[in-house]
Amino acid sequence: MDFITTQKELRKKLLSLYYNVNAGHIACSLSCLDLLIALFHCKTKNERVILSKGHAAAALYTVLNHNGEISDNEYKTFYKNGTKLSAHPSANSFTNIPFALGSLGHGFPIGCGIANANKLLKNQEYVYILMSDGETNEGTTWEAAHYAVSKKLDNLMVLIDKNQLQGFGYTKDVLGDTAAVEKWKSIGFEVIEMDGHNVDKLVDSISNLKRYNTKPKLIVANTVKGKGVDYMENKMEWHYLPMNEEMYHKALGSLEINYNA
């Protein structure tokens, strides 16, 4: 299947969403959008996807809108007073997520608890967790990682959006490479490392990993913060900046060149 058209169209929607409310975290969402497209393509109806890097909520809302789980009218309420679609996902704002996300380092441990509950209930459904490489700095991440292995959570799949940037620095300068493959392998995860923007290959890898039935799984996905918009790519400031009108049109132009299917 060719996902390029979806990747481009959802990026256009995402940019328009952010531009209309003058909001930031654009590059954070562009970094993980392709991972979300792949996850929602692979997950079965009752499986959960937890966006632990909640500051990229707009990317999640965009994929849910694309899938028909969020209506066009509701999608337009993003960031506005009274909306269910706040800048970071709030509790019960969308299907099956009964807790708020955005305080980094919490989606993963909560997801481990849900995966363990599924196993205790003899329910084989997977829990997928998408977290940032910045979140692998958090202490809670390491406790949860050991918990996942000790409880043999073979129904757990974690994707790390490894764009190597945080809000105010490079990940390597903040705490070293806490998303390194060998670290996670040594704990007991089944780990693969791959391009986090190739949706076809992500879909194949997620499906293959699901067949491997003894360990919790991890995909270290190498990504580019701001992917698709040239002037945002790998630029620290686009963690927080909103776009003005000129920047918005320039961003759309970039997509036309980079996703010319």
Report how far residue 34's alpha carbon sits from residue 139's, in angstroms, rounded to the nearest whole number.
Answer: 27
* Cβ pair 38, 130 in contact under 8 A: no
103 lines the binding site for ligand TPP (CB under 6 A): yes
Determine which residue in the list 11, 55, 215, 227 makes contact with ligand TPP, applying CB under 6 A: 55
Is 49 an interacting residue with respect to ligand TPP (CB under 6 A)? no
| Residue 162 interacting with ligand TPP (CB under 6 A) | no
* Contact status: 166 vs ligand TPP (CB under 6 A): yes
Is 132 near ligand TPP (CB under 6 A)?
yes
Q: Cβ neighbours of residue 246 under 8 Å, at least 6 residues apart?
A: none
End-to-end CA distance of the chain, in Å? 13
If binding is defined by CB under 6 A, does position 86 make contact with ligand TPP?
no
- Tell me how far CA of residue 130 lies from CA of 40, 57, 156, 177, in angstroms: 12, 11, 11, 18
Distance CA 30, CA 32 (A): 6
Q: State how beta strands 156-162 and 217-222 pair.
A: parallel
Q: Identify which of residues 62 and 118 has a Cβ nearer to ligand TPP in the complex.
A: 62
x-or-dash string of contact with ligand TPP, 14-43, rule CB under 6 A: --------------x--x------------
User: Binding to ligand TPP by residue 102, rule CB under 6 A?
Assistant: yes
Length of the chain: 261
Contact positions toward ligand TPP, by CB under 6 A? 28, 31, 53, 55, 102-105, 132-135, 161, 163, 165-167, 225
